[in-house]
Structure 1
Amino acid sequence: MGLIDSIFPPLVAGLIRSIPLSPRRPRDLLRCNGTHHGKYYVKTGYHLFRESHDRAYASCSGMDIKPPSYWNAIWSAKGAPRCRDMIWRACKGVLPVKYVLSARGIVQDTICPVCGMAEESISHAIMHCSEAMAVWFASPLAVRVPNQDHQQFSYWFVELISKCDDEWASSLLCSIAWAIWLRRNRKVFNDYLLSVDQTLQVALSMGLAIDSVNNVNDGEAVPVTWQRSSQGIIKINFDAAYSTERGAGYGMVARDNDGLLLAAATYYVGPTLDAMMAEAACMRWSMNLCKDHGFQSLVLETDCLLLHQAWSAKSVPHSYVGVLLEDCRLLASSFSILSMCHVKRQCNQVADFMSKLAYSMQDNVWIEDGPPGLNTILSADLCIPSVMSAGLFYMTSATFK
């Protein structure tokens, strides 16, 4: 490690150290960057060319070109299609507010028709207007809109959605934005301004309708709480926290079929190439811990759908993730029973808590007794769904205050 630090700058040295090393010592492979599978296809070249062209055009024209992850956050939000479409148009800058219409020579008056106090830009109409701010704050999420008028709605909303772990809250955020826009249009075209309560009723009814649709699968309700394992099976919840600034932290929790804690662990890795690799490395780390503690019959739970799909696929990804998954398949032979399933994020809150704890408690293992704060989540996992839902609502509301 000292040699790497002496040759390369700190940032590059950290990325080199983050490359996963396998005890199998597989042969080196060439892979294509920008894909999870590591293979090059014609569409891969097309996407790479478009990204390069957009960056070059943005630097010359001063345009704000947003990365794919930005748009993924919008389209993956749990909102109604009409709500997400409105938010997409707002983030693209094509929502027909008076400022946009004036720039195209359609109207001359640019004053906000709702508050009559400022120019109606997209950010003002949905975010900074005093009437819009009242709706956001009066909602069950109690969202406080920042006072900075220069802050764009697009970045503020995407950041809000990205921090939201609850599907109900994510759906409600989209519905509130749509209801505020509906309220504005009622004022423009019908000269009638909905009250704050009426606007929230529209948003809540939209959110509840979407929630009922998302929780139905072939006539059966989709479980939204943690489920106990079968007799004699140990359930392992694992998760990786990742940020470009702080790197990756791993968290793991092992429970028996009664939901009693057997072990919990945290591990801080530091710089990591991407979130997907952090999830795969966390899986390998969790399996190694289980092997060291003599656990033999396991079911692994992850909230990372891409990881579950890669594990279930017949072909191995041509990437670092593939190397890590091959290590996990080799480790699987050490257990008498091992399976893996994908769960919703609210079913994996214990592992999420531990992974974030890894940033402050970097390398720890607890046996039959976890760190402060974990027992509250463990107890909530064993509660009936109605109590659990109330707990989720409380935590979500507190997040946005």
Structure 2
Amino acid sequence: MEPKSIYGLINGCLVDLHYRQDLAAELALSKVANLINHEQHSWKKDLIEHVFSPSTAEEILSIPLSINGGLDVLFWTTDSRGQHTSKAGYNFLMHQASREAPSSSSFVLFTAGFWKGFWASTALPRCKQVSWRVVSGYLPLRAKLIRRHVDVDPGCNLCAEESETEEHLFMHCPSTCQVLFASPLSLRVDNFLTFADFWRHIHELHDSEVMALVQTTIYMMWEARNHHQFQQRPSSMEDILQRVASVQAEVRVGASAPATIERNVAWCGPNRGTYKCNFDA
């Protein structure tokens, strides 16, 4: 049986046996093996239906048994201290779900016109770069690290409600929803079915300033996530919006600055007794 199936089976058994302790003791039901007819490689259906509730019995009987047999092994998820807790079991199941989940990359869903408008925005290059990694699915988010066999907690460290994917972190996370709605964009993310729909909507507005604002906001939310994860320094909605406004002001100042006048400078030799080295910075 798969470890996940065994884990669910044991949990179901524990709930039922809590109310049937006398019966379990009488029948000597202390292991899953006690519920299996090893000669016929099948569950002891009558015993299971007699001991457990109908719903738990149905779940147990739906689990296929190995036809090859094999030795029993102790399998129990533990935390860093070697103790089993409900959190350890939850993390195990989340790891399994994250490994089986398909990639949320939406890179192939966008046209050349989208990318042209994406790169033509007035956002700072670093903001556009991070946003490109978000759209393309290249950020090292926890759900992706799990699929690459990195032992991390797959849950979002901002809300701990779901696995950390692009769609969750930049669209469905409660802190993200607040930032997008409170920003000048006034976006309600529940109006979009997928993350790709969200970006298509921004592109269809055909507004370079709006695209730049989205890219800057995405960058600041990624920065806030990293501050929270690596420096234990959480950022409020007001902090993120203030940093977005500051970067946008920086962009406007840079756009209005006069162009630098290039001057031709003639080369001259060094003073006597010194050396001169010319190099390209």
TM-score after normalising by structure 1: 0.36
Shift of 1:110: 1.1
1:54-203 to 2 correspondences below 5 Å: 64=108, 66-146=110-190, 151-152=194-195, 154-165=196-207, 167-203=208-244
1:357 equivalent in structure 2: none
How far apart in 2 are the matches of 1:179 and 1:65?
Answer: 25
Shift of 1:216: 3.5
SS at match of 1:212: helix
How far apart in 1 are the matches of 2:188 and 2:202?
Answer: 11
Q: Is the 8 A contact 2:121 2:209 kept in 1?
A: no
1:2-401 to 2 correspondences below 5 Å: 64=108, 66-146=110-190, 151-152=194-195, 154-165=196-207, 167-218=208-259
Residue type of the alignment partner of 1:212 = V
How far apart in 1 are the matches of 2:155 and 2:241?
Answer: 24
How far apart in 2 are the matches of 1:74 and 1:117?
Answer: 31
Shift of 1:160: 0.9
How far apart in 1 are the matches of 2:191 and 2:184?
Answer: 20
How far apart in 2 are the matches of 1:99 and 1:144?
Answer: 25
Q: Is the 8 A contact 2:228 2:234 kept in 1?
A: yes
Larger radius of gyration: 2
Q: Is the 8 A contact 2:107 2:136 kept in 1?
A: no
How far apart in 2 are the matches of 1:199 and 1:114?
Answer: 14
Give the root-mean-square deviation of aligned CA atoms: 2.5
How far apart in 2 are the matches of 1:63 and 1:131?
Answer: 25
2:278 equivalent in structure 1: none
How far apart in 2 are the matches of 1:157 and 1:85?
Answer: 15
Residue type of the alignment partner of 1:84 = K
Higher relative contact order (CA 8 A, sep 6+): 1
How far apart in 2 are the matches of 1:158 and 1:202?
Answer: 25
How far apart in 2 are the matches of 1:71 and 1:208?
Answer: 24
SS at match of 2:240: helix
Q: Is the 8 A contact 1:168 1:207 kept in 2?
A: no
TM-score after normalising by structure 2: 0.51
Q: Which runs of 5+ in 1 are unaligned?
A: 1-61, 220-401
1:114-133 alpha-carbon deviations (Å, 9 max, x no partner): 01111111111111111100
How far apart in 2 are the matches of 1:78 and 1:162?
Answer: 17
Residue type of the alignment partner of 2:201 = E
Q: Which runs of 5+ in 2 are unaligned?
A: 1-105, 261-281
Q: Is the 8 A contact 2:171 2:177 kept in 1?
A: yes
Residue type of the alignment partner of 2:194 = Q
1:343-397 alpha-carbon deviations (Å, 9 max, x no partner): xxxxxxxxxxxxxxxxxxxxxxxxxxxxxxxxxxxxxxxxxxxxxxxxxxxxxxx
How far apart in 1 are the matches of 2:209 and 2:182?
Answer: 17
Instruction: Looking at secondary structure, tell me which structure has more helix per residue.
Output: 2
Count of residue pairs brought into register by the alignment: 156
Shift of 1:218: 2.5
Q: Is the 8 A contact 1:133 1:144 kept in 2?
A: yes
Instruction: Looking at secondary structure, tell me which structure has more strand per residue.
Output: 1
Shift of 1:217: 4.5
1:68-114 alpha-carbon deviations (Å, 9 max, x no partner): 22222221122110000001111111111111111111234211000
Q: Is the 8 A contact 1:126 1:132 kept in 2?
A: yes
